[in-house]
A = this chain, B = another copy of it.
Amino acid sequence: MSTTVARDETVHEAPSARQQAVLDAVLALLVEEGDQLTMDAVARRASCSKETLYKWFGDRDGLLTATVRWQASRVHAGRDAVGALDAAALRDRLLDFAVTWLDVIAGRTSVVLNRIAIAHAGSRKGNLGAIVLANGRLAIGGRVKPVLEAGRAAGLLAFEDSETAFRTFFGLVGRDVQIRLLLGDALDLDAAEIRRDAARAVDQFLALYGQARP
């Protein structure tokens, strides 16, 4: 058997430059046109043939998945490494996370991608929702929790479970912003308001979980 090799060329890792351009076209289309994204429109916008799209991405879902992954890969950029913390450094770290997170979820791209993933999660077989979850809520949690634990180790914070503490932080930062945006509420946050909201959230979190150094 194996008369033809039939190599699987669908994108699983590291899209080529041309493929990235296609994925950027998808993002642009998504942001501009809402979610009635057709393969024809993508091909036209990216100046490529539908056949190529199917060759590279398998099917529509594959294209969407690759797009979500592609977008996720650019958001991650972040220097971490938790060293010893004093109160001011802890506050700065948390503030940084809060601002970054609000920036992301308030962005058009995030809103649109989350809409897609949510719709997808509704019609089963959707790992899209899982992917967005893994790169959004779960990723930020994975990065914040070590900071919280370092804060506890330094005697600056008091909590039993870092997951629970993080979820409180998440709630204080996000509040109703994401659901309102997803449902189409206008609510445009400028940078100044994001900074204010983030600072308020961090202050509240520290009020709940902080403790004076013993």
Contacts and interface: CB of A to CB of B under 8 A. Distances in A.
Contacts of A153: none
A116 B172 CA distance: 26
Q: How many copies does the complex hold?
A: 2
Interface of A: 34-36, 112, 114-119, 121-124, 126, 129-130, 132-133, 136-137, 167-168, 170-176, 178-180, 182-185, 204, 207-208
B208 A132 contact: no
A18 to B, nearest CB: 28
20 contacts: A35-B119, A36-B123, A112-B122, A114-B179, A115-B119, A115-B121, A118-B118, A118-B119, A119-B119, A129-B185, A130-B184, A136-B179, A137-B179, A137-B183, A167-B175, A167-B176, A168-B172, A171-B171, A171-B175, A179-B179
